[in-house]
Chain A
Amino acid sequence: MTHPDFLWADPEPKRGYDVVVIGAGGHGLATAYYLARNHGITDVAVLERGWLAGGNMARNTTIIRSNYLWDESAAIYEHSLKLWEGLSDELDYDILFSQRGVLNLAHSLPDVRESVRRVNANRLNGVDAEWLTPAEVKKLVPIINTSQELRYPVLGATFQPRAGIAKHDHVAWAYARAAHDLGVHLIQNCEVTGFRRAGDRVTAVETSRGAIEAGRVALCAAGHTSVLAQELGFRLPLASHPLQALVSELLEQVLDTVVMSNAVHVYVSQAHKGELVMGAGIDAYNGYGQRGSFHVIESQLAAAVELFPIFARAHVLRTWAGIVDVSPDASPVLGLTPVENVFVNCGWGTGGFKATPGAGWVYADTIAHGRPHPLAAPFTLDRFTTGALVDEHGAAAVAH
């Protein structure tokens, strides 16, 4: 594929916009695109404090799946997965979406029970899911160690064949180009620092490049959403944590499936170029520094080498961290806010890359109509008051 020099323009901000989206990660870009494409709302700016898609969008391990336990989650993630399946065509850009399947390993009897339950729940929701025995896991992934002597032996796995990975940069660039083509302004190096109010409404956002008037404001700032909410005067049930990942040097192809294990906390895939991409759990403390503690890397590698003994000879090339916005029930917060014309999309935590098209789609619809899209309705901020949590933490396979 040959690239033009620029896929989108770098315009000066106008005096104001109908919709101002804060944050040009995957979710902000997808939201702007669907506002224009699905709702004809093209007077839109996406404001980004750094460079386009340099936050979690550039730092995630790109696992895409929809095998969540609860009906509400399965519905929104499966909506997203269906959009992924048509996205290269839709955006006319090869996003290297590879449906190579995702395995979620079970290492204990409770794991096995949770996993089988989740397979059954997934099937009832029309999500492809299978339960594999250790022998079947070994057949799919010959390099995995299925010895029952391990401290945490592989007792089986759930398998979602339609799940996989995509190239995160291509996804961001594809949405950016498509949004730009529909008239959206993508404004980088533009940090939102405050809000101008008239009663219950925001009239303008204050930025490092001056004030910009806003008919509606859509928060899409992932790990920084609490900082903006504080400026707006409402509270969110979020904690921002560092989440780390790493890559090895380029290797011959040894792994053509995504393997995740919550119990020993590692997940791995092999990127198209050949590097092993691995991630772990969050660092325990609240943190906005884009770095975490090395012992987290050490323990994820210990787990990886136990499961894949040949990885012991690979070298780590790079480690890094993003800032993820973790909610109490490991589900997103999507919908209206106490401020009349401000909308929120956050709380995707460690697992929002897979939701990029789906979240953008339902969030745009929510903004356009001023009420939650049906798929977003279970995920509004109200659920923390009513108690109707969507508790994906308790369920297996929650991470990423």
Chain B
Amino acid sequence: MLSVPCPWCGPRDETEFRYGGQAHVAYPADPAACSDAEWAGYLFMRDNPKGWFAERWFHSAGCRRWFNAVRHTVTYEFAAVYAPFTQPPGVPS
């Protein structure tokens, strides 16, 4: 089981969390102006990298707050956690 470092509560068992997928998928500023392809991009297309990934977590059985994390999708190691709507801190290279 992963140990997920909630920025508000500290490290907790993965079973306390829900996963939210890719972070920073912004709602289009003017949805009605999107082409079908742009809308599909927003709704369905996702980054799915093998490596560092900025993603969302929800501490559902804890503080019930959302946060973002940078996690490696092969080693599963967390490099950083940070508040929603803020930019990710530097990603390890």
Query: Could you list which residues of chain A lie within 8 angstroms of chain B, going by C-beta atoms?
Result: 224, 226-227, 230, 235-240, 284-289, 293-295, 328, 384-387
Contacts and interface: CB of A to CB of B under 8 A. Distances in A.
B25 to A, nearest CB: 12
Contact of A385 (B14, B36, B47, B50): B36
B75 A286 contact: no
Nearest to B51: A288
Size class of the B contact interface (CB-based, 8 Å) = 20 to 34
A301 to B, nearest CB: 15
A238 B71 CA distance: 18
A203 to B, nearest CB: 25
Contacts, number: 68
Contact of A285 (B37, B40, B49, B55): B55
Interface in B32-48: 36-37, 39-41, 43-48
A289 B75 CA distance: 6
Given A238-B48, A240-B48, 20 more contacts: A227-B49, A230-B49, A235-B45, A236-B45, A237-B45, A239-B21, A240-B73, A285-B19, A285-B55, A285-B71, A286-B53, A286-B55, A286-B73, A287-B74, A287-B76, A288-B74, A384-B45, A385-B36, A385-B37, A385-B39
A295 B17 CA distance: 13
Contact of B74 (A226, A289, A295): A289
B64 interface: no
B16 to A, nearest CB: 11
Given A295-B1, A385-B36, A237 B76 contact: no
A21 B71 CA distance: 31
Q: Name the 4 nearest CB pairs between A and B, nearest first.
A: A226-B48, A237-B44, A284-B19, A235-B45
